[in-house]
Amino acid sequence: MITRFAPSPTGPLHLGHAYSAILAHDMAQAAGGTFLLRIEDIDQTRARPEWEDQIYNDLEWLGLSWDTPVLRQSDRLEAYQARLDALWNDGLAFACTCTRRDVMAALAAPQEGMLVLAGPDGPIYPGTCRDNDKTGGTGHRPDDAAIRLAMHHVADRMPDQLIFTETGTGPQGETGPITVTRREAQDTIGDFVLSRRDMGTSYHLSVVLDDAAQGVTHVVRGQDLFEATKIHIILQSLLGLPTPIYHHHTLIRDDAGKRLAKRDDARALRTYRAEGLSPADIRQMVGLPLSSDPKKSRRRP
Ligand code: GLU
Ligand code: ZN
């Protein structure tokens, strides 16, 4: 078993991150496997070296250890570009110059007050740029525009349904085999962004390529990413990559039941550390067993 923790160095780690990291670590340890760390720093406008240092520092303090080297997404841009080019050259992608506002306006146009369907990657793309002349298969890929996956072409190559195994739970209690049908891919996911403007990649493309490159067998992460997994298995199928097992866990919420955000410094691990709490206190606060003894860990839901 190979698990990973993949934080973005854009703010302090909070209790929710601690839960995710400890769970992934303990699962690998209980199985005699490997726990890996990946720094998701593709958004160079928000990533900061001091947050990356704080991540190592907090995780060490929690008593976690991981196999080195740590993979940093900013070192992987060439690998992302190579796959993006392949999809482009295959005619499976197109350039999109829409702003978020354009997308919303196009969606609202047919009918005032129309319900905007939200997919795992935001509102379903209305297709504005789909048939422009900047479509893959012809010419070179512009790098001053977003690149979207041409789902209507991809769907032609997809099996009737794709499937992944969920060993945790999705937000609606989804567990076991989870399917994504070709219909669903077109109607509820659509042309998601493969590469953001001036970034050369997206969260979805990077995470799928990295999980494969790192040989991750079990993706342990928060339920907020459950819907995104449907995008990820489509990409894995398209790129000929293995689909890991997914274990989505519940989110740690604050006392008011709101999910913790990076900006809530109150719940930052370093704040608890400064207040004198111990790693054992943190394990207890997130409801994880103190011992990472395999038998005890396995009893966890
Ligand atoms: N980097 C993402 C985050 O900080 C997690 C990505 C993942 O686990 O797939 O929320
Ligand atoms: Zn567009």
pLDDT of residue 143: 83
22 pocket-lining for ligand 1 (C-beta < 6 Å): no
pLDDT of residue 73: 97
- What's the 139 CA to ligand 1 centre distance in angstroms? 34
CA–CA dist 239, 86 (Å, integer) = 9
Nearest ligand 1 atom to alpha carbon 20:
8
Buried b (16+ CB within 10 A) or exposed e, 95-105: bbebeeeebee
2 pocket-lining for ligand 1 (C-beta < 6 Å): no
CA–CA dist 282, 31 (Å, integer) = 23
pLDDT of residue 185: 93
DSSP for residue 176: E
Kindly report, residue by residue over 231-262, the tens digit of the pLDDT: 999 999 999 999 999 999 998 876 666 666 65
- The DSSP result for 239-284, as a single string, is HT----EEEEEPPPB-TTSPBP-TT-GGGBHHHHHHTT--HHHHHH
DSSP for residue 224: G
- What's the 126 CA to ligand 1 centre distance in angstroms? 27
pLDDT of residue 149: 95
Please tell me the residue having the least CA distance from ligand 1 atom 7: 6
CA 138 to chain centre: 30
CA–CA dist 204, 121 (Å, integer) = 9
- Are the C-beta atoms of 15 and 269 separated by less than 8 Å? yes
Please tell me the residue having the least CA distance from ligand 1 atom 10: 7
Buried b (16+ CB within 10 A) or exposed e, 136-167: beeeebeeebbbbbbbebbbeebeeebebebe
pLDDT of residue 30: 96
Taking the domains of the chain in order of start, what are their residue ranges?
2-286
Please tell me the residue having the least CA distance from ligand 1 atom 4: 7
- Domain 2-286 matching CATH 3.30.420.140: the answer reads no
Q: What is the best residue among 27, 40, 211, 218 to mutate for testing ligand 1's pocket, by most ligand atoms within 8 Å of CB?
A: 40
What residues contact 10, with CB distance under 8 A and at least 6 apart?
43, 46, 47, 48, 51, 262
pLDDT of residue 113: 46
Kindly report, residue by residue over 86-113, the tens digit of the pLDDT: 999 999 999 999 988 888 777 766 554 4
- Are the C-beta atoms of 249 and 301 separated by less than 8 Å? no
> What value, to the nearest 5°, has the Cα angle with vertex 110 and ends 107 and 112?
85
- Are the C-beta atoms of 72 and 40 separated by less than 8 Å? no
Residues of the chain falling short of pLDDT 50: 112-115, 294-301
What residues contact 163, with CB distance under 8 A and at least 6 apart?
177, 178, 179, 180, 233
| Beta bridge partners of residue 161, listed in sequence order | 181
Show the tokens assigned to 49. Answer: 């070296």
Nearest ligand 1 atom to alpha carbon 221:
8
> One-letter amino acid identity for 98?
C
- What's the 24 CA to ligand 2 centre distance in angstroms? 38
pLDDT of residue 114: 46
pLDDT of residue 298: 44
> One-letter amino acid identity for 197?
R
Predicted model pTM: 0.90
Q: Give the number of whichever ligand sits closest to the CA of residue 206.
A: 1
40 pocket-lining for ligand 1 (C-beta < 6 Å): yes
Of 74, 134, 126, give the one whose Cα is nearest residue 101: 126
Q: H helices of the chain, where? A: 15-30, 49-61, 77-89, 100-108, 151-157, 182-184, 203-213, 228-239, 269-274, 279-286, 294-298
